[in-house]
Structure 1
Amino acid sequence: MAISSSSRQMLLLPLLVAGVLLSSVHANFYQNVEITWGDGRGQINNNGELLTLSLDRASGSGFQSKNEYLFGKIDMQIKLVPGNSAGTVTAYYLKSPGSTWDEIDFEFLGNLSGDPYTLHTNVFTQGKGNREQQFKLWFDPTSDFHTYSILWNPQRIIFSVDGTPIREFKNMESQGVLFPKSQPMRMYSSLWNADDWATRGGLVKTDWSQAPFTASYRGFNEDACVWSNGKSTCPNGSSQGTSGSWLSQELDTTGQERMRWVQRNFMIYNYCADTKRFPQGVPRECTAA
């Protein structure tokens, strides 16, 4: 899809800002995360600055943050599996434990060489999801690192790519819509085989001759209320060591305009528009003011 010069200008500023901000982040994966599965397929290198996950026919791999959060702004730079990644899924998400969990998802669905990745997003509250929105990205996410951010505060959840907001899920509890606000969540990421559904609804299977498949990570930043021993590090509304401005952050007019532009041009599925799936009416948050 061609991008106009004005659209490129719209995207350029947040890209530059994101680059400036992230240049000052010195995340150390040894300190901040632990590899939880994969029998050696997850590795931390470059003195803790780079993490890779691999997938082969025997197993995928994954890691999680050492901290749990109750609200925060979580950033990760990811370079996705290149080439023929059909059937694979690279997941990056926040999730609470238990059978009535909360969850905020980025999932990158693999593709045949030359086709665009599908970015799948979802929000679960108390074990209930069905809030999928999907996008095609406006760049090649396999050629370099790009920043994927989750901002989660008591009023809203904002999904962003390179500083550009692509989705907002607002707190509409006053209108009977559940919102994740009471269960601490941990950051997780994994690379796994999902060729029963990931690419063209499962029609395209994983080509194991291309294995191992590898995704790379750097620049992890957790600006968050860390949850420990039943308490938050920021009970007074500011995150530890920062101003905590993200706790009340919302999209300004420019942010709303950029998000609408992305949704008009790159959204390929929106549960709020799926009347076949919801014949009795779309979920309440889709129509609430």
Structure 2
Amino acid sequence: MSELIKLENVGVYFSERKGLFGSRIIKALDSVNLEIRQGEAVAIVGESGAGKTTLGRVILGLQRPTTGRVLFKGTDVYRIKHRYWEFRRSVQWVPQDPYSSLDPSLTIKDQLMSPIRRWFNDAKIEKANQLLNMVGLTPPSEYLNKYPHQLSGGQRQRVSIARALAPDPLLIVADEPATMIDSTLRLMIINVLTRLVRQLNVSVAFITHDMALARLFLLKVGSGRVVVMYRGNIVEDGPIDDVIQHPRSEYTVKLINAAPKIL
């Protein structure tokens, strides 16, 4: 698999005011090195505040690193110039909240056709139908003319995934995509993301706080690895079963113990 995204010694630092006259530096990411290859599944696991969402934003080009470099196919994202739009099209995002990520004033058809028109000269409704079929919203005719409020949380999240797929991306960053929906629907979202990797060769960076969910995703894909984050650092990076059976970090042990069903 060819290298798609590479982070080299990436740090993201924020200044926080402390009292009337002082401030302190918050290291959201600190000397992070990470590679994501074409068609690879990577689960990024950590508790709230571990830096995993900041990492996702860096990969997406939404957060400029304080230190280090972000490379897309070997070129610095912030010096990419003539290939910038290739990067923007190739790396897409599925946000956590399915209730606020879709425009309530637009139909599902409009929300899908907007990126299709942006990236394809021959934009046709057939493309929107294909996207809905891909994420299991069938028949598409039942959903195209509906508004987001007429859909369940799981259906909205699948529309978000379909919208992310509209430009034919190479990588999707899914930030806690199954957190704000019913537990009975989480498997459905996992299955959709699994199909993207196995059938479309799309890379997926699956961000979650749940080690059990990360393992389920990677086992369904059949390959890939888990990256464990703690206080802005990567403390584990390897095949999921290797990390579970031979964790190097005490923090990883805590995550494993918090999800006993994965053992």
TM over 0.5: same fold? Answer: no
Q: TM-score, normalised by structure 1?
A: 0.27
Structure having the higher helix fraction is 2
